[in-house]
Amino acid sequence: MSILTFKRQRMSPYERRNLLLGLIFISPWLFGFLAWTIYPLASSLYYSLHRYDLVRPPVFLGLKNYVDFLTSDPHAGIVSYNTLYYVFLSAPLGVISAFLLASLLNTRVFGRSTFRAIFFFPAIVPAIVTAMVWRFLLNVQWGAINAALKGWGLPVIPFLANPELAKPSLILIHMWAQGNAMVIFLATLQDVPRSLYEAATVDGANAWHKFWHITIPMCTPVILFNLVMGFIYGFQNFTLPWLLTSGGPNQATEFFAVHLYRNAFLYLRMGKASAMAWLLFIVIVLFTIILFKSSGRWVYYGGESS
């Protein structure tokens, strides 16, 4: 066995100049990355090990914040149930709705471009506007939907005021706002080789067989991507639940992110909130790993399944 000795090559003046220029050009991004990503991450990890209320100096507690949330927080059970309920329904249903919309908008229909713009529009609307619109539509007393039901002599539906209907109502709103996923699916559908459909037609396959055996398998990599993004978004869902229900009624929409916000900015338990954030990060990573591990059974990569 021979020992290879590598000599460290010195950079030439030209290479050093290019390196310096490159660092200067990316320095705004480096500063932003360090100030708005690395520092907040390190700070949250530091505060998760302390008792901190923004007023008094941090007091080191070790892992007590983590243990207290998992063992003694009276709301941990309902918060975990609400979050898992929302995630496991909203993520797949959102992917299904986006995929079906993209499949419909990929056909030759009159006004296709207009319909694409209409269905994509919810993705670019600010969350506060979305909340105001849906509050107007779903309100029990003066909501447009319930006003129409009253006009037809039908009973009103307490979409956001009933603990049993609050989470399904938020899931429906999530399914409505799938413009980004729809556009990604639409681009993927247009890349499916036409020759596969032509060969299937020659073999006597009908529209359903083509959709099930060609369209869906060819789109499974993008389905996996949107499913992962849906799970990540679902675990961090905060804006609409807080604006529409503030965690109610009767804690029916007290999701993990809502409970984290409440501890951080209402109760000033910054240490506990930071610990909750890291627990949420670990859960998201675990679910993402599980999804990628299971993808080998159903994701098709152009001739190879992995």
Q: In this predicted model, what pLDDT tens digit does every residue of 120-154 receive, in sequence order?
A: 998 888 989 999 999 999 988 888 999 999 999 99
Confidence of residue 6 (pLDDT cuts 50, 70, 90): very low
pLDDT digits (tens, 9 = 90+) for 200-249: 999 899 989 999 999 999 999 999 999 999 999 999 999 999 999 999 89
The per-residue pLDDT for range 284-298, each reduced to its tens digit, is 999 999 999 999 889
- CA 35 vs CA 26, 48, 128, 274: distances in Å: 14, 19, 27, 18
* 269: phi then psi, degrees, rounded to nearest 5: -95, 75
Banded model confidence at residue 2, pLDDT cuts 50, 70, 90: very low
Give dist(CA 279, CA 271) in Å, integer: 12
> pTM of this prediction?
0.88
Classified as helix, coil or strand, 50 is strand
CATH of 68-305, one of 1.20.1440.230, 3.30.43.10, 1.10.3720.10, 3.50.50.60: 1.10.3720.10
pLDDT of residue 305: 41
pLDDT of residue 274: 96
Q: Is the distance from CB of 140 to CB of 149 less than 8 angstroms?
A: no
Q: What is the pLDDT of residue 141?
A: 86
Spell out the residues 6+ positions from residue 54 whose beta carbon is closer than 8 angstroms to its own: 268, 270
| DSSP annotation of 255 | -
Instruction: Work out the average pLDDT over 13-40.
Output: 92
Token pair 């969350």: residue: 127
pLDDT digits (tens, 9 = 90+) for 161-185: 999 999 999 999 999 999 999 999 9
Strand-pair category, 300-301 with 50-51: unpaired
- Distance between CA 155 and CA 248 in Å, rounded? 22
Q: What is the pLDDT of residues 49-60, one digit of tens each?
A: 999 998 999 999
Query: What residue type is assigned to position 209 of the chain?
Result: H
Output the average pLDDT for the chain: 91
Q: What is the pLDDT of residue 165?
A: 95
- Bridge partners (DSSP) of residue 304 are 301
Q: Which two tokens stand for residue 30?
A: 């480096």
- Give the three-state DSSP class for 33: helix
The alpha carbons of the chain give a radius of gyration, in whole angstroms, of 25
Listed in order, strand segments (DSSP E) in 85-239 are: none
- Give the model's confidence band at 306: pLDDT under 50 very low, under 70 low, under 90 confident, else very high: very low
DSSP code for 115: H
Residues 173 and 186: their CA atoms lie apart, in Å, by 21
- Contacts made by residues 175-180, CB under 8 angstroms, sequence distance 24+: 175/90, 175/93, 175/94, 175/97, 176/97, 176/122, 177/122, 177/123, 177/125, 177/130, 178/94, 178/97, 178/98, 178/101, 178/122, 178/123, 179/119, 179/120, 179/121, 179/122, 179/123, 179/124, 180/120, 180/123
Residue type, 56: R
